[in-house]
Amino acid sequence: MGEPMPLTEFFVRHGAKTEEQFLEAFPGAFLLGRYRGGTPSILHVDKDPEVTTTIGADEDCDFDFDDPTLDALHAVVTYHEGFRGWTVEDRETNFGTHVDGDRISAARPVLLADRAVIKPGGGLCELQFYTSATFYKRMAKSGITRSLQQKARREEGKSD
């Protein structure tokens, strides 16, 4: 599991990939996180039930936010084979975790729909869940992939 990366840096590194290249490089899903409306960061989430993505106030969490309403380990996102998708689970926290506006029950995994919004704690931070295919389509629709692919082709032409 990697570290969350600023979204703009992710676009620069991976935005020129074709859809096939992108999905091969990133099977699974993504979490796009923001704290107080700040710069968004993105993290690839493995399609592996043995790997969990942690959210909380502890610096050892995959997504750690300096939010006083978060517990050290607040919630986890995991690929769940039985549900055939990713789930989020609140770790019996004081302020709870909300998915698409609804507070979820503690210690009970909830299946995440594509583009689901996860708000742990008091709502100062939020994460949005995307499948890799949907995230690529979002990049393509915004024009990021096209402009970076054109730039890469121009640079290849200069080096020949």
Among 106, 87, 85, residue whose Cα is nearest residue 97: 106
Spatial separation of the C-alpha atoms in residues 42 and 36, rounded to whole Å: 15
Q: End-to-end CA distance of the chain, in Å?
A: 37
CATH classification of the domain holding 143: 2.60.200.20
Q: Considering its fold, how many domains does the chain have in total? A: 1
Domain that holds residue 17: 5-159
Return the closest-CA partner of residue 108 out of 93, 94, 130, 88.
88
- Which pLDDT band, with edges at 50, 70 and 90, does 116 fall under? very high
Question: Per residue in 14-61, pLDDT tens?
Answer: 988 899 999 999 999 999 999 987 889 999 999 999 999 999 999 999
Q: What is the pTM of this model?
A: 0.88
pLDDT of 160 higher than 90: no
C-alpha dihedral, 90 to 123 to 26 to 136, nearest 10°: 140
Q: 């121009």: which residue's tokens?
A: 154
